[in-house]
Each structure stands twice: as C-alpha cells, then as structure tokens.
Structure 1
C-alpha cells in the first residue's frame, strides 16, 4: 500500500527542502556567480507573486527576519506550515498519528480561495515593491 500525504504535509516537506537549499544557496552563488532570475520579470519587467522568495528564504534561514519580510512576506506562511507539518510527518511516520483523510469539496474550495487570496496579496506586494502599483 502506498503512503498518502496531505497537501499541508507535502507543502511542509517542500518548505523543509527550501530551508535546506536556502542554507547553502549563498555559498553556491558566491562560488559560481549564478543566480535565479524570475522568468516573468525577466521577460516582461513585471514581478510574479513568488518574486523575492529565494532572497526571503535565505534571509530567514540566516536570521535576517526584517530583510525576509521586505523581500517577500509569504515566506513566513511557508515557514509556519513547515514548522507544523514536519513534526506531523514525523509522528505519522512513527505511527503516532493516523494517516490523513481526504478533504471535503467545501474544504478544498476554501483552501483554493485562501491560496488565491494569498497569491493575489503577494503579487500586489511585489508590484508595490517594484513601484508598478
């Protein structure tokens, strides 16, 4: 039987991966000079909702909370989700917590609307930061 992971658990695992990458990213860029440009901003000059997340992740992992907030406040949502989901994943792996149950259609819609609102707020923040709004 294959193991089922909930969306929050998957996002939490993604957040853990982001934190690990953010811890080593400055060394990679310093040694290679390679960065991660935003494809939308590169092509159009308009930032995307995720613009600044790499910078914010690196800043947050290195304890620069205000710099992370200025780069992209959405990183705090991912950090919070990671802080909750990683222990949950560990407890589920140990059998202390039951596997996830599927969400109802109403719950899925609520989460979809919430995520859309968060992405819209992030995009408005990025547009304001870039003096485009």
Structure 2
C-alpha cells in the first residue's frame, strides 16, 4: 500500500507548486505576452471567487504581502497551510510523525462547509473590489 496523505498535506504540496509557478510566471508571461483571463469575467463582466489568485501568488512570492492580500486574501490561507504542512510532510517522510488518520464523516462535512464559506467570502471580496457591491 502506498503512502497515505491527508487533504491538508495535499493542499500544502499544491501550495508549493503554486509558489514555484508564481516565482517563474512573471518571466514567462512578460516574455510571451501571455495572461490568464478569467472566463466568467470575460463572458459576463463579473469576477469569479478565484479572480486575482495569480496576482496574489506572484505578489506573495516576491514578498509583497499587502499587495497579495489586496489581490485575493484567500491565497493567504493556502500560504499558511503550506507553511504548516510542508514541515509536517518532511517529518512524516523521515518517520518521525505518524501517518494521518482518516477524517470522520463529520470532519469531512465541516471541511466542505468551511471551503464553501471561504469561496463565498472570496467572491464577495472580488465583487466589492470590482465595484459591483458598493461600500
């Protein structure tokens, strides 16, 4: 049986990949003139909950925390989770920490509700930022 990874550990590993991509994205996009358009915003003019995540990741990787939070504060959650889970993954790989236990159905429901609330909050932030929800 292969190594078991928890959902937070998988998200932390994803956060490492996002950080690596954000570190090289400015050089790739500037050289090629590429951008990442939001399909929802392109079609409707309404930003999606993920709007600004690329900008937020690039800003955070380059140490501009306030600019990152201004683009999309949801990325801060992924960054914090990554900062916690990467050392945990290393300790598990070395055998110093036990493998994760499976989540209970209640814990899974709580995680799903938390993710939905976070997505809704991100969308409200983006709608406010774009002026579609006035102050």
The number of residues matched between the two structures is 133
Tell me the distance in 2 between the aligned counterparts of 1:12 and 1:85.
Answer: 5
Q: Secondary structure at the match of 2:127?
A: helix
1:131 aligns with 131
| Structure 1 consecutive aligned stretches of length 4 or more whose deviation exceeds 3 Å | none
Deviation of the 1:66 alpha carbon: 1.1
- Unpaired runs of at least 5, structure 2: none
| 2:120 aligned partner | 120
Does the residue aligned with 1:100 lie in a helix, a strand or coil? coil
Which has the higher mean CA deviation after the structures are superposed, 33-42 or 8-17? 33-42
> 2:16 aligns to what?
16
- The corresponding residue for 2:4 is 4
- RMSD between aligned alpha carbons? 0.7
Alignment partners' CA distance in 1, 2:51 and 2:26: 17
TM-score by length of 1: 0.97
Q: Which runs of 5+ in 1 are unaligned?
A: none
Report the TM-score, using the length of structure 2 for normalisation: 0.96
